Chain A
Amino acid sequence: MHRFFRPRRMLRDAKQPLLWTAGQLCLNHKPVVACVRGYIVLPPTNDEEEKAMLHRMMRVDHAGEYGANQIYAGQMAVLGQTQISPLIQEMWDQEKQHLSKFNEILAENRVRPTLLLPLWNIAGFALGAGSALLGKEGAMACTVAVEESISEHYNSQIRTLMEKDPEKYTKLLQLIKEFRDDEMEHHDTGLEHDAESVPGYQLMKAIIQAGCKAAIYVSERL
């Protein structure tokens, strides 16, 4: 019963004066002395191509975290009352943190979010709920597959940035590495909790990873 009375957190995006003010002050006066966000993740650039590349990267990462958030939401919706629920909740909270970080970056740098967000909303929730219906092992298998895809994606982004200019992108690399490590941790947690014992594990993993690859490809372009 309590589940239905949980208040919804409405993100009033037009009224975040404190953070926004601090952000504006940060951007206007560098170096920064007293600022809520002590650093800028994306290096400011005038090169259009580089800006487009960085925006594309942030767009697809944001879409990825948004989808992951919805997957865990779907899993909790089905398995919320079982023994595995604290674990899934913990992993979900970390994904929520990642998502809010990317929301910050997108807002700060005026990056356009991907047009397919409503699709990832529904698809993520459906994937999470569907895999959770196969039981705890199904949910863990889904987690393993998705986290592996995301880690691979973050790794290729790290490689791209390192090839271009490691010093310039230090903050961004640090952020992506941190997130990648979190996702690897989720992956390992999933394996620890009998992900591989679900029937049809290999098939399920292949399908989910193919879906993730397609989602990444499309989100980069749209």
Chain B
Amino acid sequence: MAALIRGLKAGRALRGLRSVAVQGTLSPQCNNVRRGFHRAALLRLASDSKSDTSVPPPSYHEVHTAGESSSSSAQGESSEGAQSNTSFQDQSGEHGEDYETEEQLQARILTAALEFVPQYGWTVETIAAGAETLGLSSASTGMFNNGAGDLVLHFIAQCNAQLAETLAEQNNLVQLGQAESKKTAEFLKDAVEMRLRMLIPYIDSWPQAMSILLLPHNIPDSLKHLSTLVDDIWYYAGDRSTDVNWYTRRAALTGIYNTTELVMVQDSSPDFEETWAFLDNRIKDVVNMANTAKQVQATGEAVVQGLMGAAITLKNLTGMNQRR
């Protein structure tokens, strides 16, 4: 029991280290120095608290994964840290697991930053505001090499994940027979509408986000997210094709999604009615094209059969088919 309490104190102290305000900007070179300080501080804490087994492993993890904030003296900060750290434990929700990876921390900051987007737009200030609500210093935006791009990509990934989850749930209901399966056109329309509705809270600043996504260094990531989105939607719509249809369907849906998104940012009708009408029309177009293609193919085959029949009739009439 005493060892457990010591372990908790050590964990809290380490979080305190992270939240200390940094003088000057964080740079990658500083990270290693900071990690060194971290480890020194950690060893001092561990030896002071005299707990041998329970403290080092979890704290070592934290040292490995948390890379920011420095301290000149661990002892000085630990008391300060102990006060301002209850928020972390509340947020992580678990008392035993007192470490998280850098990616998880970044994700938390970006999620918190999203509520400031209407105020500051898709910028580094938004991320700083988000970090501050978590009790971190605004200089922790240095963690994000891509700045606002990180925020937009995180938001997109979050929306796509949410959509995939919802579609999977709906799929489960259909599999269990508790819901009707939709026709493909209707399914696509609903899925794209659901995904675009996630943009509504941020629609005023969305053109800024779109332009950030068009920056050359962001294009690969944004294309990856877009292709994952379209693949997910088609998968849950029931597409199991393994030929060139795989590509044509996804290309068509990508076109539909992008154009509808563009219409949405300049749509001022109530509840974006015009956007949904536009979406409906585009999907109808694609369905029409697919049907037309099938009809053309069927007609072509029928024509070929007709011609072969005519040729054979001609051969019969001219007597060329007879055995000599």
What's the minimum C-beta distance from A96 to chain B, rounded to whole angstroms?
14
A117 and B244 contacting across the interface, CB-CB below 8 Å: yes
- By a CB distance below 8 angstroms, the chain B residues around A8 are 301
Asked if B184 contacts A110 (CB within 8 A), the reply is no
User: Which one of A5, A21, A62, A107 lies within 8 Å of B240 (CB-CB)?
Assistant: A107
Chain B interface secondary structure, helix, strand, loop or mixed?
helix
Pair B312/A14 contact, Cβ less than 8 Å = no
What CA separation (Å) do A59 and B308 show in the bound complex?
38
Min CB gap A12→B, angstroms: 10
- Chain A residues near B133 (CB-CB < 8 A): none
Q: Which of B239, B244, B301, B304 sits near A13, CB closer than 8 Å?
A: B239
| Residue-wise interface mask of A (10-41) relative to B, using a CB-CB cutoff of 8 A (1 in contact, 0 not) | 00011110001100110000000000000000
* CB of B266 closer than 8 Å to a CB of A: no
Question: With the chains together, A96 CA to B242 CA distance in Å?
Answer: 14
Q: Which residues of B contact A24 (CB under 8 A)?
A: 171, 175
Residues of B close to A21: CB separation below 8 A: 175
Q: Is A84 an interface residue (CB 8 A)?
A: no
The A-contacting residues of B in range 156-186, CB under 8 angstroms, are 171, 175, 184
A interface: dominant SS: helix
B60 at interface, CB cutoff 8 A: no
A14 in complex: contacting residue of B175, B239, B242, B247, CB < 8 Å: B239
Q: Is B231 an interface residue (CB 8 A)?
A: yes
Given known pairs A4-B305, A117-B243, the reply for A110 and B238 (CB within 8 Å) is: no
Give the size range of B's interface with the partner. 20 to 34
Whether A14 contacts B240 in the complex (CB less than 8 A), given A1-B312, A4-B308, comes out as: yes
Residues of chain A within 8 A of B144, CB atoms compared? none
Q: Which parts of B295-309 form the interface with A (CB within 8 Å)?
A: 301, 304-305, 308
Alpha-carbon distance A99/B175, docked complex (angstroms): 27
A112 at the interface (CB under 8 A from B): yes
Distance of A206 Cα from B239 Cα, bound (Å): 40
Which residues of the partner chain B approach A14 to less than 8 Å between Cβ atoms? Answer: 184, 237-240
Give bound CA distance, A24 to B305, whole Å: 41
Any B CB within 8 A of the CB of A67: no
Task: Give A14 to B290 CA distance when docked, in angstroms.
Answer: 14
- Determine whether A113 belongs to the interface, using a CB cutoff of 8 Å to chain B: yes
- Contact check: which of A20, A102, A112 meets B246 at CB < 8 Å? A112
For window 240-260 of B, CB contacts with A under 8 Å fall at 240-247
Instruction: Give Cα distance in the complex from A112 to B227, angstroms.
Output: 11
- Which A residues are CB-close (under 8 A) to B231? 110
Asked if A106 is at the interface of the complex by the 8 Å CB criterion, the answer is: yes
A1-B312, A4-B308 known; A13+B235 contact, CB < 8 A: no
Q: Which residues of B contact A112 (CB under 8 A)?
A: 246
A34 to chain B, nearest CB (A): 15
Distance from B139 Cβ to chain A, minimum over Cβ atoms (Å): 32
Q: How far is the CB of B238 from chain A (nearest CB, A)?
A: 4
Interface residue? A103 (CB, 8 A):
yes
Do the beta carbons of A16 and B240 come within 8 Å of each other?
Answer: yes
Q: Cβ of B308: which chain A residues have Cβ within 8 Å of it?
A: 4
Residues of B within 8 A of A (CB): 171, 175, 184, 231, 235, 237-247, 301, 304-305, 308, 312
Interface pairs (17), CB distance under 8 Å: A1-B312, A5-B305, A13-B240, A13-B241, A13-B242, A13-B245, A14-B237, A14-B238, A14-B240, A16-B240, A24-B175, A62-B242, A112-B246, A113-B244, A117-B243, A117-B244, A118-B244
Instruction: Give 4 nearest A-B pairs by CB, closest first.
Output: A107-B240, A106-B242, A14-B238, A13-B241
